Structure 1
Amino acid sequence: MATYNTKQLIEYFSAQMPVSERGKVLPFEYEDINQLVLDSRQVKKKTLFVALKGANYDGREFIPKAIESGAVAILAETDDMGKNGIITCLFANNKKIPQITVYKLAEKLSEFAGEFYGEPSKEMLVVGVTGTNGKTTVTQLIAQWADLINEKSAVLGTIGNGELGKLTPAINTTPSAVDTQGYLANFLSKKVKLVAMEVSSHGLALGRVKGVDFAATVFTNLSRDHLDFHRTMTKYEQAKWSLFSPLTDKLAVKSSGKKIINYDDKVGKRWIDKLDDAIIVSTLPKNLKNIRQLGKPYVGVHKIVYHNKGTSIYFDSSFGRGELESRLFGEFNVSNLLLAFCTLLALGFPFYVLVNTAYHLQPVIGRMEIFKEKNKPTVIVDYAHTPDALDKALSAAKEHCTGALWVIFGCGGDRDKGKRPLMAKVAHSYSSHIIVTNDNPRTEDAKMIINDIMAGFSETKSIKVIQDRKKAIQWAVNHGDENDIILVAGKGHEEYQIIGQKKYRYSDRKVVSQLLGITL
């Protein structure tokens, strides 16, 4: 990784200075910068500290601490447009340290971080996947598939960041603007050829990927979620759209690359009409004729067969015809698989090699992950925590269920309250047995969350409430029959439960495996 220095830093931002201030820049002793950080606790020698005004903390308050720890330069956000680009001198340890104030720094940080790290996204195939549901599965499938054909890959997303099998835990679905570019630079140094990253609506709204050159971008679907942040579905959709929109959009990324869009989603269908260069994916045989007639590249299905080993998908496409054998369950996973398939085809990966390796793709942990032991009910652990995701998960489980269908779920605290009764309605429409339990209550009263959920049931006599999540799963496993399926929804891969402001060690996967006597 090339070393940056304070001279380059000043030159980068001096173009934004008011003309009257450009001659006032003090001569600084130029120092190498090896690290770019947002957290003052990570500052060491040769560090550039970025002081942003955040939702919970104001990074500008930690500038003295950063300097004390060895920062050689400061980027500080300002709310005053008139101070944009102003460079002042801070004195510490007998050195003159430049502090540059930047108006709306958060919006400019992704592009600057890209410059700082040498524009790593231009040297790799970076795929951005957005949508309410399916981001994790699609990114993991893309990375798995690339690995299967000896193209070194990595992922950024909910389950973790890094090469498959070497993931480090993720704090956010989409890392900060600084961390995103830092990860990409690190992957490039390890000769990674393809990076598949989940791009959340938060990440888009906050400009975290604005400076990323994407080789391809993928849209899975859009349904109700994150309204505590976006407030309206219109704003939520606008955030997602910025991954595909023209550069005139304030939040648009540097390059959207190939645009792969799910035609089966009503939002996706609308976007396809707006995008001349869209590549279309549909899992519904009834849509095949329509998508052929649009005159755009496509992958469509003419038959799907569900069986006890997974799914057989017979498809037609502008790339060729064939059959994909998949170990994944459910219609929505057909969509996830085809979106991954289409993306790799659009990037030039060989058609027949992809078709012949599809069966080796493994289900993603915590995403319709199946746990089965003789003489006990089948348990499926899934991350579904929105009404639409729960609907899809239950629909998929029902396809393979010969006994009773159970569901165990709760809702997160300090999040969109409006979806709680909607989750109940979905659960009631599919399941013979329902247990309402805790998810991550956070700082909300767990009983009040459950009351919000219970309000969505047309009758509650058949609904069981067991707040302790482990006990809820235990009760279902002990009372279920061998042919029953129990869907444990909401936490998926997570290995913690947030109660109050504390994280407690907890895993649905581990609880289920222990109850069934399965070794993870």
Structure 2
Amino acid sequence: MKGKLLSQWLGHLLALDAAADRRIGQLSIDSRDCIEGSLFIALHGQASDGADFIEQAIERGAVAVLQGVEASAAAEVVLEQSSAGVTFTRIKLPGLEADIAELAADFYDRPAAALAVVAITGTNGKTSVSHYAAQLSNLCGMPAGVIGTLGYGMEDHLRPTRNTTPDAVSIQRQLAELRDAGAQAVFLEASSHALVQGRLTAVPVDVAALTNITRDHLDYHGSLAAYASAKRSLFSMPSLSAAIFNDDDYYGSLWRHELAQSRPGGDASEDMEDATDDRDHGGPELMTVSLLHAATVCAENIELKADGMSCSINLSGEKGMPRLRLMGEFNLANVLTAAACVYAVMVHQLQHKRNGQTPDRLLTVESADCASRIVSYCAQLRAVPGRLQMVQAGSAGAQPRIVIDYAHTPDALQKTLTALKQHGFTRITTVFGCGGDRDKGKRALMGEIASLHSSKIILTSDNPRSEDPYSIISDIREGTETGNAAVEVIEQREQAIAAAIETADSSSLVLVAGKGHEDYQEYAGRRLPFSDLDVVRKVLERLQSPSVKKPSAADTPLQRQEKM
């Protein structure tokens, strides 16, 4: 990006002389992201004050700093020197915290105006839906990017992010990069934290989708009601042209009814199958997804097999019978939601685009043609890393099947284990833990679920953070008394995964749950390199060596296990 002079960006708010006027290449709200030519935005946060990191930002190449002052204070521009003698421009603006999202959007020339922006929220499934939708969009000829847990970028070229939904400044930079890379649509994950903190304030969302609502992040929100309310706020955005709900979820059905009733002459019982109805409802078009009944996108005749599933998908009256290379009925619900997202973008043509702008690169297609293409392309969808990701052993029949999944909530773990059993796997060893410094109430719940749906459980560390790993494991262990699964404790995650694979036979399945795609482990204030997938592959490679004898359960080194 060429960037802008400070005077071009902030000239309407304050006066800058030639000495203070710098060319800015990018905005950074985190000093660690600063590069040569950055402007560092030093906000006062809940956990830290950005002013404490100004020196670090200058060392990394920042040429200017923007800080907030009280609303009653005057704007100020000064030239200063860092402790290393580097001259930089410091700008103080009243009300910066409230205005920063819009200012960032202005700096990057309102990138969302040139994109179809689809936001997916919910407890589970956001990552899968966003990636499936991007895959379908690309197959339909509409280049798409993603922003979320796995990173941001065009669907097959992702760069890492620190949060599921980036801060209000970084998201504008990422949208601008996607726009400049040729994306026509962006599928982003909208977390509850992001919605409460206003990270999407300056991102006019065209299509919003809900996957489901179950218990999560109560350590932050305090109650399920507050958590759900945060998610609900996404569907109040005035920019929406379509709202998509999982009608099999309690909150999805409830919110769809509420929106339908809130319209002039609204009727919550009106037919929701036709998403192309052009009547003026005074709000977004309402679309539904269901595995149980008729909806805008629904499925029937579902057959689950060891290597995938087949079904009949009905998208707004267009039917097809794709063979999916994916696991789990809940994953089918994710596919249907992704299909609805792409359908909404392509059919609605973004009637609520900002500033009267309509992207000139969006495809114009017939509704029926669009629907049939989307349904047929579902057969080409690829599994998302760390989401029911099947890892095949190198020598057929010698090792158990191994699945890696991000399931880190009670609902996600139950759905994952239920899905595996529905696909014919009855002997399951589940390896999992729970994150430290997070909702403690879900630990025993997850232990209970694992004990009811597994033959064997190995409790281990997830991301213990500042907590004692064994204290976390003890909390989980309290819930495992309900079922009949054998329970072992191996605190070191690499050893736990190895033990699970080494003692399982070819008729068993090993589920490694909780971390999915993550390539790190947060332990005692440090972020250490760690990948479940890498560990699994290393264990399999070692066991496939002719010189290695696979240990039996009796040979498992009990000295590294703790019975509880």
- Which category describes the TM-score, using the shorter chain as reference length? 0.7 to 0.9
Question: Is residue 2:330 matched to residue 1:332?
Answer: yes
Once the two structures are superposed, residues 326-358 of structure 1 have per-residue CA deviations (whole angstroms, 9 ceiling, x without a partner) of 111111101100000111111126222222221
Match of 2:399 in 1: 376
Instruction: For 1:513 and 1:73, locate their aligned partners in 2 and report how far apart those are by CA, in whole Å.
Output: 46
The residue that corresponds to 2:248 in the other structure is 264
Say what the alpha-carbon RMSD is for the aligned residues. Answer: 2.6
Structure 2: gaps spanning 5 or more residues: 261-283, 348-369, 545-564
- 1:406 aligned to 2:413? no
1:224 maps to which residue?
A: 215
Cα distance change on mapping 1:5 and 1:502 into 2, 3 Å: same
CA offset at residue 112 of structure 1?
1.7
**C-alpha separation in 2, matches of 1:68 and 1:452:** 44
**Offset at residue 166 of structure 1 (A):** 2.0
The answer for the alignment partner of 1:90 in structure 2 is 78
Match of 1:100 in 2: 92
Partner SS state of residue 159, structure 2: coil
TM-fit CA distance, 1:26: 5.6
Paired AA for residue 339 in structure 1: T
Partner of 1:477: 501
Tell me by how many angstroms 1:11 deviates.
4.6
Contact 2:147 2:186 in 1 (8 A): yes
Shift of 1:437: 1.0
Q: Aligned-pair distance for 1:208?
A: 1.3
- Separation (CA, whole Å) in 2 of partners of 1:42 and 1:439: 27
2:375 is the alignment partner of 1:355: yes
Does the 8 Å CA contact 1:141/1:340 hold for their aligned counterparts? yes
Taking structure 1 as the reference length, what is the TM-score of the superposition?
Answer: 0.87
1:141 to 110, 129, 132: 132
Aligned amino acid, residue 461 of structure 2:
N
Corresponding residue number in structure 2 for 1:467? 491
Q: How many residues align?
A: 488
Taking the aligned partners of 1:68 and 1:396, their CA distance within structure 2 comes to: 51
Whether contact under 8 Å (1:106, 1:206) holds in the other structure is: no
**1:454, 1:96 → 2: CA distance?**
55
Once the 2 structures are TM-superposed, how far is the Cα of residue 220 of structure 1 from its aligned partner? 0.6
C-alpha separation between the residues in 1 aligned to 2:188 and 2:97?
20
Mapping for residues 200-211 of structure 1, pairs under 5 Å: 200-211=191-202
SS at match of 1:243: helix
Task: Sort the Cα spacing of 1:41 and 1:368 in 2 relative to 1 into closer, same or farther, 3 A.
Answer: closer
SS at match of 2:424: coil
Alignment-derived partner of residue 22 in structure 1: none
State the AA in 2 paired with 1:375.
A
1:145-191 alpha-carbon deviations (Å, 9 max, x no partner): 22223332221111122123321222111112111110111111111
Conserved 8 A contact 1:6-1:73 = no
Conserved 8 A contact 2:407-2:514? yes
**For 1:100-179, what aligned pairs fall within 5 Å after superposition?**
100-103=92-95, 105-179=96-170
8 Å contact kept, 2:456–2:485: no
1:507 equivalenced with 2:537 (yes/no): no
Q: CA deviation at 1:387?
A: 0.2
The structure 1 segments of at least 4 consecutive aligned residues displaced by more than 6 Å after TM superposition are: 67-70, 93-96
Q: 1:36 aligns with which of 24, 27, 32?
A: 27
- Structure 1: runs of 5+ lacking an equivalent: 15-24, 248-254, 292-297
Question: Could you tell me which residue of structure 1 aligns to residue 174 of structure 2?
Answer: 183
Percentage identity across aligned positions?
A: 37
What is the distance in 1 between the residues matched to 2:488 and 2:480? 12
Cα displacement (A) at 1:199? 1.4
Change (3 A) 1:81 1:444: same
Matches within 5 A, 1:57-72: 57-63=48-54
Among 297, 302, 305, the alignment partner of 1:304 is: 302
Matched with 2:562 is none
Give the deviation of 1:283 after TM superposition. Answer: 3.2
* Deviation for aligned residue 1:55: 2.8
CA distance in 2: counterparts of 1:54 and 1:27, whole angstroms: 27
The letter for the 1-side match of 2:182 is K
Question: In 2 relative to 1, CA 412–98 (structure 1 residues): closer, same or farther, beyond 3 Å?
Answer: closer
Deviations, residues 199-227 of structure 1 (Å, cap 9, x unaligned): 11111112111111223121111111111
TM-score (norm 2): 0.81
The answer to whether residue 4 in structure 2 is matched with residue 4 in structure 1 is yes
Partner Cα distance (2:65, 2:469) in 1: 43
- Take 2:56 and 2:427, find their aligned partners in 1: how far apart are those partners? 60
Structure 1, residues 71-117: CA drift from partner, whole Å, max 9, x if none?
Answer: 56543234x4433xx211313379994623233x3443222211110
Partner of 2:289: 282
Match of 1:21 in 2: none
Aligned to 1:440: 463
Query: Is 2:443 the partner of 1:420?
Result: yes
CA deviation after TM superposition for structure 1 residue 52, in Å: 0.4
